[in-house]
Amino acid sequence: MNENMNERKARLAGKFLIAGGIATFSVGCWGLWFDIGWIAQPFYAFAWWGYILVLDGFTAVRRGNSLLTTRYRYVPALLIWSVSFWYFFELLNLRYQNWYYVGVYKNYYGRVVFSFVCFATVMIGMFESYEALTATGLWKKLRKTPTQFPVWVSYAVQLVGLTMVTLSLVFPKYLAPLVWGSVSFLLDPINYRRNSRSILRDFEVRDYGMVLRFLLAGLICGGFWESMNFFAPQKWIYTVRGLENFKLFEMPLLGFLGFPALVLDGLTVYSLLARYFFNNQSWEHPDDLGYELPQTPSFSRTVFAWSIPVQILFAILVLQGVWSVNIASERLDLSDLSLLSAPSCEALEKEGIERPIQLLRETKDPERREEIRGATGMETAQFNALLDEAGLLSFKGIGSRHGRLLQMAGIKRVDDLESQEPEELQKQLAEFAQQNQIRPPRLDMVRVWVLAAHSRGIIMKNDGNKTAGVIDARPPKPDSGWGTGS
């Protein structure tokens, strides 16, 4: 009776979670569309938390059991560990430099809080995706008669993991992607030998459906992550060498294969920590595992509480490195436009325009563009040059610092990038940066700008000599020829 009552409560709560998730996601999209700063800037957080709430609600309605409604005791640890888990990869990316961030908060505390809120969703987002797939019954019967692996298998798997991470660190230019999945290969055998929740054990009991659901969950998460990231004002851009010529959103197409590996990495790390903090018990529905997990002694809550400031310190230290190496630009404001005088800036603000991206959107309509130009008191040529500058600085997160360097190099609008050779342009920008004592853009960033200038859509395809935008997101060019952002 109590169990049925708990299930009914969970299903009712699930309906509220679905409604709350849809509302959260909708508010984020609304704020992004109208560029309402306090919503648009952290849009990604609205999108991802909305996604999590909807999936948990769906699982609760289907099963009467979910992470947020009945197994919520695992959630605080999942959120905290998730931040440290992702910052481990940010630490490695200081070496790999496979992605960088654009349009970030100018305020120090804004950056810290936003990163914590977003990175806390990594593990729970992947696990909720898996739970939702499981709730549908997908591949539930894909099981075979259990077997038992020889002792050497777990050690061989660890050797593979050690090889993967070593190669990725020694040859980061081309082998950095090997890091995805290496954590599982390295640590999961430890979980296996200690009778903790283990992917290797899933293979041993031949529960292939479970493994496939985890892999699919990672792929679904990757698709949602990248699609929402593409439209967000502050986001990451991937620059994996050799995979830049075919992108979906900001991710090389082959890069999506890293997301299934990432979910296994997250599962492995959780299982390792759960042995010491959750008596070796998993966050999963008790009916889903094909084997028993023996309970083990765990640390006290005091130890867990003391671990939190240590993890925060680790994250902040890594953040310092990220800010100095892998952040390309900050949030773009009207004050960043060098061609905009103070009186003209005030005139734009009176028109309800507070950011360059709003200026670009508002001036798509010729009549509205002329109305705004008149309000600023600028001549037509001056105003068109201002729009070119706004488009250039907004494009692919170029930002004000790198935008100034491009202007020094004679690049006044996005279209000017199409004729550039990335290597030569980067050298030129580096010279200007040295003269002005500022940090120059990396070659991989310049390559992103030039390749994207040819193909400014959701899908970017470049065959080496020719480029083609499969889905073109550019607005039509007006006769005056002002630049556009992306």
Structure confidence by residue, pLDDT tens digits, 198-214: 999 999 999 999 999 99
Q: Which of 249, 95, 111, 268 is nearest to 167 (CA)?
A: 95
SS3 label, residue 247: strand
pLDDT-based confidence at 233, cuts 50/70/90? Answer: very high
| Per-residue pLDDT, 464 | 53
pLDDT above 70: residue 148: yes
By the 8 A CB rule, do 255 and 244 touch?
Answer: no
| Per-residue pLDDT, 290 | 84
pLDDT above 50: residue 125: yes
Residue 97 neighbours by CB distance under 10 Å: 18
Distance CA 294, CA 310 (A): 29
460-476 residue pLDDT tens: 776 654 444 333 434 44
| Per-residue pLDDT, 478 | 39
The single-letter code of the amino acid at 101 is: Y
Output Rg (C-alpha) for the chain, integer angstroms: 25
Distance CA 69, CA 259 (A): 27
395-446 residue pLDDT tens: 999 999 999 999 999 999 999 999 999 999 999 999 999 999 999 999 999 9
What percent of the chain has a predicted confidence (pLDDT) above 70?
Answer: 94
pLDDT-based confidence at 240, cuts 50/70/90? Answer: confident
| Per-residue pLDDT, 460 | 75
pLDDT-based confidence at 301, cuts 50/70/90? Answer: confident
Instruction: Please give the helix or strand (H or E) that residue 459 lies within, else none.
Output: strand 459-462
Of residues 484 and 251, more confidence is placed in: 251
Q: Give the predicted TM-score (pTM) of the model.
A: 0.90
Query: Apex CA 74: angle with CA 70 and CA 80, to 5°?
Result: 140
8-22, 101-115, 326-340, 467-481: the lowest-pLDDT one: 467-481
| Per-residue pLDDT, 484 | 34
Per-residue burial over 320-354, b if 16 or more Cβ lie within 10 Å, else e, is: eebeeebbbbbbbebebbeebeeebbebbeebebb
Start-to-end Cα distance in the chain: 57
Kindly report the backbone phi and psi dihedral angles of residue 100, in degrees, each rounded to the nearest multiple of 5, phi listed first.
-145, 165
What is the pLDDT averaged over residues 384-395?
Answer: 96
By the 8 A CB rule, do 442 and 417 touch?
Answer: no
- Cross-strand partners of 252: 247
pLDDT-based confidence at 480, cuts 50/70/90? Answer: very low
Q: Is 164 exposed, middle or buried (0-12, 13-18, 19+ CB in 10 A)?
A: buried
Distance CA 243, CA 247 (A): 8
Residue 163 neighbours by CB distance under 10 Å: 13
Tokens, residue 239: 């620059």
Place of tokens 């197409």: 253
Greatest Cα pair distance, the chain, in angstroms, is 80
Write down the mean pLDDT value for the chain.
91
247-256, 303-312, 365-374: the lowest-pLDDT one: 247-256
| Per-residue pLDDT, 455 | 80
What percent of the chain has a predicted confidence (pLDDT) above 90?
Answer: 82
| Per-residue pLDDT, 468 | 40
By the 8 A CB rule, do 54 and 28 touch?
Answer: no
Distance CA 475, CA 486 (A): 10
**3-state helix, strand and coil shares in percent for the chain, rounded to the nearest 5:** 65, 5, 30
**For residue 64, is it left (φ>0), alpha (ψ between -120 and 50) or beta?**
left
What is the pLDDT averaged over residues 312-320?
Answer: 95
Q: Which of 139, 264, 260 is nearest to 201 (CA)?
A: 264
What is the pLDDT averaged over residues 386-400?
Answer: 96
pLDDT above 70: residue 479: no
